[in-house]
Chains A and B, each alone.
Chain A
Amino acid sequence: MSEAMNIAPLARGSQWKQRFLQPLLRQRSAMAGLAILAIYVVAAVCAPWLATHDPTAQDLMAALQGPSAAHWLGTDSYGQDLYSRLLYGAQLALIIGFASVALGLVVGVAIGLAAGLMGGRTEWVLMRIVDGLLAFPELILAMAFMAVLGLGTENVVYALALSFVGPFARMTRGDVLQVKNQPYIEAARLMGVGTAAVIWRHVLPNVVSPILVQAGMRISIAILLESGLSFLGIGVVPPTPDWGLMIAEGRAFITMAPWISGVPGVALAILLVALNLLGDGLRDAFDPTTQKDA
């Protein structure tokens, strides 16, 4: 999250408050989303202290048990404690979600800035690459990258990040092209301000809020894709505590032990709802192009 926020050169607190916090505070559903997200973040951060078991410790004697005093949310077919796995799963989901979006954002924004500011052949080539990335649905793209990169947590982050580069690059370029021709940019250049300074001081602040809105909305997609990939068996590898893996594992035991897939499934659904609420709130608050129903 910090990476995404650092892009914004809005260091002064009051300005940040005015532009981001106040419009958001006006929306109740967005605040509810934020509150739920906060609970997940706390659970993820405090997982080592909140967990009752080692999330990957197997105890076949205690397999397929329902919720009990020993295992608050029951156990899976390997006897792993679902409550502890849920907490560590939240950690993994949030880390992968934020990290992949942040990485995709940094690369995408860099490509978009380069294309928009340099123009000419560089722009043409960069944007054709972006077109290539945008020509495929995200999941297919992520699956292809996973096939190339191989399984594992880190590769999931890279694969997702790569599949997010396209939208960020296209958005940034569009915004840059709009800002580039504004008189004040021309004026700054004439006054001898260097290119880097112009980008940092004048271009980025103008493109930052639509991009952050986009990033906020992408995080829920990232988490959905991550758990989906793991569910398909082409993401994170067992026994890592991952919700997608847990749901896949519980699928076989749905009639005798519905809690195995139910615990991560419901947790994932609630998190996604919260992120969607927050994303909608962000969009309504900062994106003037979307129509709001009064």
Chain B
Amino acid sequence: MFQAVSARLAQTLLVLLIVSAASFAFLKLAPGDPVSIMLGSDYSQASYDKLTHELGLDQPIVLQYGRWLADFVRGDWGTSYITNQDIFELAVLQALPVTLTLAALSLLIALVVGIPTGVLAALYRNSWIDVLATTLAIGGNAFPSFYLGIILIWLFGVDLGWFPVLGFVAPWEDFWQGLWHLVLPAVTLGAWYVGLIARITRSSLLEVLGQPYILAAKARGEPGWRVVWVHGMRNVLMPLVTVIGLQLGGMLRGAVMTEVVFALPGLGMMVTTAVLNREYIVVQAGIMLTGLLFVAVNLAVDQTYQFLDPRLRRR
């Protein structure tokens, strides 16, 4: 057991190292010379060399990486040239919570809609419900979220005026107002996930319902709803979590688009703005943070497996 955990730990550390190296490499590859950018248009060679030395840019690349990593771990991520804001504060304390809230709410919507749809489609296989669910699943999965967001803003924001169109109110400051502002973005992002969750629920449940233990549960006198929702769905959770974890990339892709469409100050908005402003140090922070998020979610999914499937637990 100890061996398995330490192997896993070593592997995670290696990936973290690779993530940080890639983020560091990005800044080195980015066009423009940070020293001349910081000095402005008018400077002497002497002041250029001085700043280069102060920033440690004349040192070997490995040392530079080490220093950068140490700064990063300490939370010293630099300052934005444009807003003069501390980047750690901007990325971790301001943008990250917005993206996480949006993602969590979308996932919740997707689960609440997707699972029952998938179950109905499995139970009434080849009926109109199944056809409808499958169509919605494929459509929702393919529909570009940025265009869906625009349509939702038009219909429910502008035309009907039910929801606020743009902007973000933190739910941890004003819960209901915050939720209100997040409804349309979360539906936009969730629509993409609904189809996926409905599809995987349907196919996994169909497989599970064919298993002898389902027949055995019925033979014990368990009512139909319990057979499906307890005995069946308990075994569907594994593939469901797998897919949710695997599709995190898609989730983040949608989150970036959704944030930009709805002007939410999340990670996606931050990175997009930074790319447009050529503020590579902020882009780098965004890259590093999404990389870390990826690693963290993968670890979490692994842990969830052990929790969900007793066969994977160590005795």
Contact = CB atoms under 8 A, between A and B. Distances in A.
* Chains A and B share a contact (CB less than 8 Å): yes
Interface of A: 128, 131-133, 135-140, 143-144, 146-148, 150, 220, 224-225, 227-228, 231-234, 244, 247, 250-251, 254-255, 258, 261, 265, 268-269, 272-273, 275-277, 280, 291, 293
Contact of A147 (B15, B22, B30): B30
Contacts of B203: 291, 293
Given A135-B22, A228-B253, A231-B257, 5 more contacts: A136-B291, A136-B294, A234-B276, A250-B150, A276-B142
B290 interface: yes
A146 to B, nearest CB: 7
Interface stretch (B1-9, B181-189, B280-288): B280-288
B124 interface: no
A247 B150 contact: yes
B213 interface: no
B151 to A, nearest CB: 8
Nearest to A279: B142
Interface in B285-310: 286-287, 290-291, 294-295
B18 A135 contact: yes
B236 to A, nearest CB: 13
5 contacts: A137-B250, A231-B257, A254-B150, A255-B154, A280-B138
B233 interface: no
Given A146-B275, A247-B147, A272-B143, A232 B257 contact: yes
Interface size class of B (residues with CB under 8 A): 35 or more
Interface string B111-153: 0000000000000010000000000001101111011001101
Contact of A232 (B18, B125, B248, B260): B260
Query: Which secondary structure dominates chain A's binding surface?
Result: helix
Contacts of B206: 293
Nearest to A128: B18
B271 A148 contact: no
B138 A277 contact: yes
Contacts of B257: 228, 231-232
Contacts of B280: 147
B92 interface: no
A261 B147 contact: yes
| Centre residue among B248, B280, B287 by max chain A CB count within 10 A | B287
Contacts of A150: 31
Contacts of B19: 132, 135-136
A265 B144 contact: yes
A139 B252 contact: yes
B21 interface: yes
The 9 closest A-B pairs by CB, nearest first: A265-B147, A272-B142, A137-B249, A139-B253, A137-B252, A273-B142, A132-B22, A132-B18, A254-B154
Contacts of B159: 255
Interface string B140-174: 01111011001101100011000000000000000
